[in-house]
Amino acid sequence: LESKKISKTNAVTSQLDYDVGAKNVHIGPSDYVPWLTDRKWAYIRMEGRSFGDVPLNAELKLEVWDSPNSAGVVIDAIRCIKLALDHNIAGALEGPSAYFMKSPPVQYTDSKAREMTAAFIRATAQVVEPVVATVA
């Protein structure tokens, strides 16, 4: 659980352009809870200050079904891997790894990772012209 806590915390704090300080962020995984089955719950609490330095707090509960929730990401990652294989590219795919994975070799902001992934796809995807059949 300790390594999950570290990877989840790093995934969130890497998207900030400033250091919030270790005491100001807590992201913790839970162990397996049988009655949740494949569901995951996340409780998010944000504290801040608004106009006039007035305290502002927001709380949110997010509930998702874990397996289908990650399926789209996995499929897109596999598509990028296939493009790499088709072009004999080996090693970590820096942009796609940063975009799809929690703990990539190199962490980028979401927008930069998305931009790098799109560039990788443009550079490696083959455009196939549609075949138009004519009927005589």
**66-87 pLDDT, tens digit each:** 889 889 999 999 999 999 999 9
Our measurement of the distance from residue 83's CA atom to the centroid of its chain's CA atoms, rounded to an integer in Å, reads 20
Amino acid at 102: K
The residues pairing with 7 across neighbouring beta strands, listed in sequence order, are none
Q: Flag whether the pTM goes above 0.75.
A: no
Q: Which residues of the chain have pLDDT under 70?
A: 1-2, 29-30, 128, 136
Which residues contact residue 100 at a Cβ distance below 8 angstroms, ignoring those fewer than 6 apart?
Answer: 73, 76, 77, 80, 117
For 126, phi and psi rounded to 5 degrees? -95, 130
Task: For domain 2-65, give its CATH number from 3.30.360.10, 3.30.70.100, 3.40.50.720, 1.10.600.10.
Answer: 3.30.360.10
Cα 11 to Cα 71: distance, rounded to the nearest angstrom: 19
